[in-house]
Amino acid sequence: MQIVRTDVSRATSPTGEPILRVVFYGEGGDCVTVDMASVEAGNDEAALDRARAILVQTATFGIAAKD
């Protein structure tokens, strides 16, 4: 996916907890959203770095089976 834009925002999880949300927008309307439990990430650049690291970890580890 070719990233064309990113957005960092604060949001609320379905359970009511504050989260930090990073959305990576790609060409053709694709997007990937990373929600992080801690809103103490600092600035937007730190949030982007953390979201990228989460995506790399997700891509390199096996996916848990849904029960």
Question: How far apart, in Å, are the Cα atoms of 64 and each of 23, 31, 54, 67?
Answer: 23, 22, 16, 9
Residue 53 to residues 29, 62, 65, Cα–Cα distance (Å): 23, 16, 22
- Cα 40 to Cα 2, 23, 50: the distances in Å are 28, 17, 11
Structure confidence at residue 41 (pLDDT): 52
Which of 18-22, 23-27, 40-44 has the least mean pLDDT? Answer: 40-44
- Count of alpha carbons within 13 angstroms of residue 45, beta-carbon side: 0
Q: Tell me the whole-structure pTM to 2 decimals.
A: 0.81
State yes or no: pLDDT of 67 exceeds 70: no
pLDDT number for residue 40:
66
Grade residue 61 by pLDDT with cuts at 50, 70 and 90: confident
Token pair recorded at residue 58: 């997700």
